[in-house]
Chains A and B, each alone.
Chain A
Amino acid sequence: MNVVIVGGGTVGYHLTKALLARGHEVTVIEPNEDRCRLFTEEYGEVVVRGECDVALLRRAGTERANVLIAVADQDETNLIACLLARRLLKVPRVIARVIDPRSRTTFEKLGIDLTVSSTGIICNLIEQGAITTEILPLLALGKGDLEIVELVLPPDSPALSVSLKDLPLPADSVLISIIRGDQIVFPRGSTTFLPNDTILALTSTKGVEQLKRVFYR
């Protein structure tokens, strides 16, 4: 994929590293000379130096990009970069980091629907950590109200002797698969569980607590 990253701070730096390692083509827009030098030394010719404006976005090849990711240190820059990428340069997918969580709804209303807020993520983790330590959130979907979680069954799990169809699973959750050793079991009504089974489930955030009661004592 062809990715343009706006902002060569710490997030931009590690993002570039990860994307290059996965074989993607990356161009970074960054105004600071020292930061630019760091990128060039580490990753070669990936940086276009300057403030994020129309000419520079074009020079960075944004028109050919599949994704633009705006991770500058200022919400305003990220919003403007995303709006230009989406509306003018027709980039199919834009992602923005928001620093002030209050900016998020503004971004959404303006059509930037994929935002990442570390404040939001950390708050969610803390909230979930407060309810459960056994259930690990893997991926938040939708607007964060749907998630894929992982559970590992303890030897004393109340679900062990019961077949799946008789478990009081919450209405808004689905078991996706069971990882048993190096096998993947697709759950059916007759499936029964073994200790140390790893279960992947799709659930509403509300359903997490009930899942916990089904599988843990």
Chain B
Amino acid sequence: MKALIVGSGRVGSFLAGQLVGQGHEVVIVDREPRSFKMLGEDLVVQRIATPETGKVQATLTAKTRIRCIVGSGSDEELLKTAGIQGVDALVAVTDNDYVNLMAAVIAKELYQVPRVIIGIINPRRLEIAQELGVEAICPLTLGAQAMFESLIR
């Protein structure tokens, strides 16, 4: 499977590691180049410019084969550069729920990405995802539910 991950924070990097470990192909996008450090320490930097801006840089990890692209995950042109047209799945897990939602809508409606899933930080926004037909997971709600179940068991 080819997966595009938006957001290289704790969740995104963990997910990228898991997927690559199972032999899947991963491209990861983050606005902040430093975030890619979360992926591991053996990064070999390779800069790739996009045709539109000439400014977007990408880094390639030697061992883990994760393509890293610097830019905003709600920028359609950047998502195209990241190869959204050919991916099997998009996962958006930045720390901004609206960025995740926008990336998901672009992936689903404009590029027909077969599998789209996002992280939502504020549980109140789960309803937005639901109304827009986007599969969403709120770690906070899941965590609280698990704690609750553990308590009353």
Which residues of A come within 8 Å of B, CB atoms?
A: 51, 53-55, 74-77, 79-80, 83-84, 87-88, 100, 102-103, 105-106, 109-110
Contacts and interface: CB of A to CB of B under 8 A. Distances in A.
Given A102-B77, A110-B110, A80 B127 contact: no
B105 A109 contact: no
Contacts of A88: 131
A83 B132 contact: yes
Interface of B: 74-77, 96, 98-99, 101-102, 105-106, 109-110, 122, 124-125, 127-128, 131-132
A83 B133 CA distance: 12
Contacts, number: 58
Interface of B is mostly: helix
Nearest to A54: B127
Interface of A is mostly: helix
Given A51-B122, A76-B101, A102-B76, 15 more contacts: A51-B125, A53-B124, A53-B125, A53-B127, A53-B128, A54-B128, A55-B127, A76-B98, A80-B98, A80-B128, A87-B131, A103-B74, A110-B105, A110-B106, A110-B110
B131 A74 contact: no
Contacts of A87: 131-132
B124 A76 contact: no
